[in-house]
Amino acid sequence: AQSVTQPDIHITVSEGASLELRCNYSYGATPYLFWYVQSPGQGLQLLLKYFSGDTLVQGIKGFEAEFKRSQSSFNLRKPSVHWSDAAEYFCAVGAGHSTLTFGKGTMLLVSP
């Protein structure tokens, strides 16, 4: 069965510092991989996705993620965090939207 692990429930980062959110998955083949962001009281918004090809994918708001098949990981990165990035981040894996498995989320706190 497929699964997604986001090891960090909460992460606090200083504004301007770099960010890496971890995502590890278990899947029988190369999956579709997604990162979504959720601001308080809102639905989820897609940051980026990986289907195939270049393993480093660029997304919105200056985020990027790297697919590492050997490590079954799809970590999200941003070189310089802004206060507006404070939100909850979800990694998801699957073969299509109807089979997506979401991680439990990582709450990002940004300190001044």
The contact set with other proteins (CB under 8 A) reads 4, 9, 32, 36, 41-46, 49, 51, 90, 95-98, 100-105
> Cα torsion for 44, 68, 70, 21, to the nearest 10°?
-50
Q: How far is the CB of 19 from other proteins (least distance, A)?
A: 20
Question: Is the Cβ of residue 47 or residue 81 nearer to other proteins in the bound state?
Answer: 47
Token pair listed for 54 = 């270049």
Q: How far is the CB of 105 from other proteins (least distance, A)?
A: 6
CA distance 93 to 80: 26
SS3 for 18? Answer: coil
Question: Is the Cβ of residue 8 or residue 15 nearer to other proteins in the bound state?
Answer: 8
SS3 for 103? Answer: coil
CA distance 21 to 34: 13
Question: Is the Cβ of residue 9 or residue 17 nearer to other proteins in the bound state?
Answer: 9
Q: How far is the CB of 15 from other proteins (least distance, A)?
A: 26
Nearest to 5 by CA among 96, 102, 89: 102
Q: How far is the CB of 112 from other proteins (least distance, A)?
A: 27
Question: Is the Cβ of residue 15 or residue 32 nearer to other proteins in the bound state?
Answer: 32
